[in-house]
Amino acid sequence: MPKVTFLPSNLSLEIDENTTLREAAHQLEVDVHDRCGGLGACCNCVVTVVDGATAITPKTVVEEAVFYLDPKDRLSCQCRITGDVVVSTL
Ligand code: FES
């Protein structure tokens, strides 16, 4: 099972493949500011991929439409975990 780690808390867990980063954060009680409930509407649930960029699904149409996202930034409700990944909520 893939391992996901959230910084700066350094909380991590092994989780089923294709779980969203948002769902993983909820299991660890990490706040990713997901104000629209994961609908892809608020664009507040941004996390920065520190390691394992290829271990999450490619950017969705919703993410591509958010002009201010850095290439390493992802909307945690839109991407799914496929391998070990480390992300930052800062
Ligand atoms: S929770 Fe609103 S866009 Fe992700």
- How far, CA to CA in Å, does 11 sit from each of 32, 41, 66, 80? 13, 27, 28, 18
Span from the CA of 47 to the centroid of ligand 1 (angstroms): 11
| Ligand 1 site, residue 40, Cβ cutoff 6 A | yes
Ligand 1 near 45 CB (within 6 A): yes
- Closest ligand 1 atom to the C-alpha of 37? 1
Closest ligand 1 atom number to CA of residue 43: 3
Which residues of the chain, if any, have pLDDT below 70? none
Q: Does the model's pTM come out above 0.85?
A: yes
pLDDT value at position 21? 98
The CATH number fitting domain 3-88, selected from 3.40.50.20, 2.40.110.10, 3.10.20.30, 3.30.420.40: 3.10.20.30
Question: Do you know the residue count of the chain?
Answer: 90
Residue 31 identity? D
> What are 25's strand-pairing partners?
none
